[in-house]
Amino acid sequence: MSAIIITKNTELMQRVIDEIKTCFDPEIPVDIWELGLIYELNLDDENNLKIVMTLTSPNCPVAESLPAEVENKLKLVQDIKSASLKLTFEPPWEKEMMSEVAQLELGFM
């Protein structure tokens, strides 16, 4: 499953994605973008960013820290006016949501 990306500013959105790729689930040596944990990125015309993401499980040990890390990092991306993150478990994350890069890295392919 690929993230839903809503924006007119593709250059800024690419910087957002690049920043997301610096965030890792500490139990899995793959960034959260490639893991498929980001469900939606919505950047409006005023550069307010809304993020919808999940975790590998509701009981994930980083449930408190990882979403806050992502939100805080994205607030610091140059030209982002605001960033707000919504954590969801619908649909639940499955390993099939990982990119091919992640599946190769983790030995699933």
Distance CA 44, CA 41 (A): 10
Please state, for a pLDDT cut of 90, what percent of the chain lies above it: 77
- The yes-or-no verdict on residue 32 having pLDDT over 80 is yes
Distance between alpha carbon 89 and the CA centroid of its chain, in Å? 13
User: What's the CA dihedral at 2, 63, 65, 54 to 10 degrees?
Assistant: 10
Please state, for a pLDDT cut of 70, what percent of the chain lies above it: 98
Which position has the higher pLDDT, 61 or 8? 8
Asked if residues 12 and 44 have their Cβ atoms less than 8 Å apart, the reply is no
Asked if residues 67 and 87 have their Cβ atoms less than 8 Å apart, the reply is yes
- Beta-carbon-side half-sphere exposure of residue 43 (alpha carbons within 13 Å): 19
